[in-house]
């Protein structure tokens, strides 16, 4: 007997996606779940250990790591899934050449932000080797690494959507309902 499960990779907006990047989206969604679970668990343990009078000081570092990586993995996943905030409501109400222009503009803005994340995130990453987290003395670069990585994925997913949108159009041909995957 086969069990049914939900697919983590959305079929919505399939015309804007390359199947080769589906494993990346799947991995990002799993990473988001792991970081959310880790964040919630470590915050709970931090509260409990402090209430008992025996705080685990290093736990705040772990909590911050889960939070930072969760945020930036989520930003990349949201870009691939087309769930991020951009002027989608306005663009979806348009058709033809005007929609092409607005969708292209929206994605170019996202691409510009991704470029800034890569460039300035990398500069922060390099500078982070001179600053350390207490009490572990781990370089802050370990946190800053998430920024350019996320930016690179956001840029990749934006290029993917631009290329496929220019080829196939940005408007879906029909609404695809999420289905079970066997």
Contacts of 65 (CB under 8 A, 6+ apart): 142, 143
23-80, pLDDT tens digit by residue? Answer: 999 999 999 999 999 999 999 999 999 999 999 989 999 999 999 999 999 999 999 9
180 pLDDT more than 50: no
* In a domain? residue 180: no
Task: Say if CB 9 and CB 25 are below 8 A apart.
Answer: yes
Helix, strand, or coil here: 139?
A: strand
Domain limits at 112? 12-175
Question: Whole-angstrom Cα distance, residue 155 to residue 160?
Answer: 9
Q: Supply the pLDDT for residue 174.
A: 59
* In a domain? residue 4: no
102 pLDDT more than 50: yes
* In a domain? residue 7: no
pLDDT exceeding 90 applies to what percent of the chain? 66
Question: Whole-angstrom Cα distance, residue 151 to residue 76?
Answer: 7
Identify the CA nearest to 103 among candidates 161, 168, 150, 156.
161
81-101, pLDDT tens digit by residue? Answer: 887 665 567 777 778 888 889
- Give how many domains the chain has, as a whole number: 1
* In a domain? residue 181: no
Question: Whole-angstrom Cα distance, residue 43 to residue 48?
Answer: 9
* In a domain? residue 3: no
* In a domain? residue 2: no
Mean pLDDT of all residues belonging to the chain:
88
Q: Supply the pLDDT for residue 8.
A: 78
* In a domain? residue 1: no
């Amino acid at each position: 007997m086969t069990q049914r499960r939900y697919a983590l990779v959305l079929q919505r907006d399939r015309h804007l996606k390359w199947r080769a990047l589906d494993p990346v989206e799947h991995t990002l969604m799993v990473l988001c779940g792991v970081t959310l679970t880790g964040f919630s668990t470590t915050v709970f343990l931090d509260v409990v250990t402090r209430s008992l009078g025996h705080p685990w000081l290093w736990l705040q570092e772990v909590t911050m790591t889960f939070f930072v990586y969760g945020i930036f993995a989520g930003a990349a996943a949201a870009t691939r899934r087309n769930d991020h905030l951009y002027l989608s409501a306005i663009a979806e109400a348009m058709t033809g050449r005007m929609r092409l222009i607005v969708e292209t503009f929206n994605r170019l803005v996202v691409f510009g932000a991704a470029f800034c994340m890569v460039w300035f995130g990398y500069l922060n990453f390099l500078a982070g080797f001179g600053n350390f987290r207490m009490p572990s003395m781990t370089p802050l670069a370990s946190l800053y690494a998430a920024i350019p990585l996320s930016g690179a994925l956001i840029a990749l997913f934006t290029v993917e959507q631009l290329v496929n949108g220019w080829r196939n159009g940005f408007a879906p041909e029909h609404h695809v309902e999420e289905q079970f995957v066997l």
